Structure 1
Amino acid sequence: MLSEQSTPVVRATLPVVGAALADITQRFYAKLFDDRPELLRDLFNRGNQANGEQRQALAGSIAAFASMLVEHPGARPDAMLARIAHKHASLGVTSDQYKLVHRHLFAAIADVLGDAVTPDVAEAWDEVYWLMANALIAVETRLYQEAGTAEGEIWRPMRITERHDETPDAVSFVLRRADGRPAGTFRPGQYVSVRAELPDGARQVRQYSLSGAPDGDRWRITVKHVKGGDGPEGEVSSWLHGHARAGDVLTVSAPFGDLVLPGGEGPLLLASAGIGTTPMLSLLHHLAAEGSTRRVTVVHADRTPADHAHRDELHRLVRALPNATLHLWYEEPGAHAPEAARGRADVTATELPDGLTAYLCGPLPFMRAVRGDLLGRGVPARDIHYEVFGPDLWLGRD
């Protein structure tokens, strides 16, 4: 909770700071990478830095956290903090790095806002920063403990034992530990990071959902080839598609991510689009292995049946659950998917039981649309969960 002294200062300066956050975060990253160029080379996603999405996400998270401190002093954006903390843990972020970020962020604030940063203003926003940082450090410490690893020591060599081309743009890899030990358990819906050494020597990191059954012996990830177009080509996905073969060894993190099932027997909605199907497959594998009788509504949207990765597997898993239904939408269904509707997913026309918990994964426009439709149908925001890969430009706080 923000102190009584700082609350009115943050409330009064939030509009000014918020309006300048884009400039502040741009200056911050420039200072950070001038000081520590290896962070851009080996930790931060260079594509997201180039297109500005990482700056937008950082600015949004700071503004969202500060706004909640002054508008709802008895609450905390726990969902947002959990997503950030899981992502940080999957990158091996350590608590000492928050001091480095603090130094360059507040230098950037001073550069952009100048004399407006009085001692009182600096002290109040310093409190905001450390409230957020310490909350994240606490969650990340717990995540490392649960993973059975020291802070930041998340990496392990894993050998590709199988490679399967699922669609023209998606390939799956079955992974086992290179030392022969069991891969380890994970919670269905979680992801791992893959660190790839690229031709220029950079070691870029990307996250991929564990798309198979929660098998302690082997893991499976499915990687979509990001080909560019409206944005930069995916460096790691391009490298994996072009170079990774059975027998190769990848550097892979422990599993993280909070898109996991609640206990109980309540109804579920699993809604995905494109490669967002991957965490849903893991959840369905888990439910099928348990012999679950929960009511499960599965919604998936894709371009065509041929572009739908693990399409047959999804059908099999839904058939294995006695109270599951599958609703498919394809932009171009063709003759091979007579059961599918044409166009974009529309949950407004889908029968949904009361009291459901919803899980969303896919492109941000898809998730925003589905979440809005669910809210319109009376599903509480707290019961709608999502996974986003790349900078979180949505920042749902419920």
Structure 2
Amino acid sequence: MFETWRNAFKQPELRKKILYTLLILLIFRIGSYITVPFLDPVALQDLFKTGAGSGDFLSYLNIMTGGALSQATVFAMSITPYINASIIIQLLTVAIPALERLQKEGSEGHKKIQKITRYVTLGLALIQATAFYFLLKNSQGNILKYKSGFSGVFAAIIIIACFTAGTALVVWLGDRISEKGLGNGISIILFAGILSRGPAAFQMLVGWWKMGSSNPAYYFYVPLIVIVFIAMVTFIVWMTNAERRIPVSYAKRVVGRKMYGGQNTHIPIKVNMSGVMPIIFAMSFVSLPNMIATFLGPNVKAGGFWDGFFKAFHSDHWVYGLIYFLLIIAFNYFYVAIQYNPIEIANNLRKNNGAIPGIRPGKPTSDFISRVISKVTLLGALFLGLIAVFPIIFSMITKANVSLGGTSILIVVGVALETMRQLESQMMMRHHKGFLE
């Protein structure tokens, strides 16, 4: 990996792309420290430590934004509205024929879909910023400096506008990376936001190790967490690169004096076909009760039915883990079903005189591909569910209040592998052999 980066810096064009990407990420990190007016960051951090520090949806968003949410900065929402908008448009593409036609129109159609996604992102950012403002207003602690009167209305407009504008700026920075930098801009920014919390996690482990003098159990927890972290990264890399290859043979055909076809290839079906999308879907659904409880606050009667119901959806409860795991499996099947069409794959093979050895063309081929995809999808769903639920199980067994961030590790490893592949492919394009060599 280091050799690849060293060789990339030797190429002037790639060096410019890498430096441009680093410059955009520097701007992103600077914006993550500019606080929004009329907010008290210290009071907001206390809110996250007490009410939102147990791994609920607000903590999940805080991880995705690199801690900007708990610091009340202009990039507090980061690219989460864009991710939600992309998911919504992707699902509507299957349901709305007009969007489906745009998707099949090539690059021009994709540009129009991206434009629609941007508008939806702004709408969702405005809604999310408004909801976040009322959450801060109704929460305990003096987070807002002005809550009533003309000053309160003016402060609300400024806070909501800053959050919305911050999301628009982050999406614009991501587009600049995709256009002039290296890798997918949105993924790179998400990668940088998550990775920025690494030093804080390291300081926490160092603090735990120092506490081992008073509690020897920490001398066991710290090495265990490091070993588990390395094992999770290795497992994620292995499963991300794993794929099921369906062999395909193309028949020979003679056109004039030339013979075409006659080659053997394969259809690669990755085990993790849907990435982290099922986890994001499941997190959004399973965190709804927790969000409602956050809004209700002290109105929930302690010891009552609703109090027990909301406690069951805390991240350290087994009900939360079970529902989370089942939702990931369900959404993984759903996402793969809208992305892969076995009938279309079988028809394309038939049009190109291709066939799977031992399988008749047409419906038998589509049925075979469907069975293979179903088995691979189940394996991928179990993989995602295990990665997402393992931190909860680990915390319940060790009684340690720590989140290994399986989802965060999955995102970081996936973006890193994809960026390295793109960098290597661009280097190969610039080192091809000439005709006379």
**Interval containing the TM-score (normalised by the shorter chain):** under 0.3
If the length of structure 2 is used for normalisation, what is the TM-score? 0.26
If the length of structure 1 is used for normalisation, what is the TM-score? 0.28
Structure with the bigger percentage of helix = 2
Higher radius of gyration, 1 or 2: 2
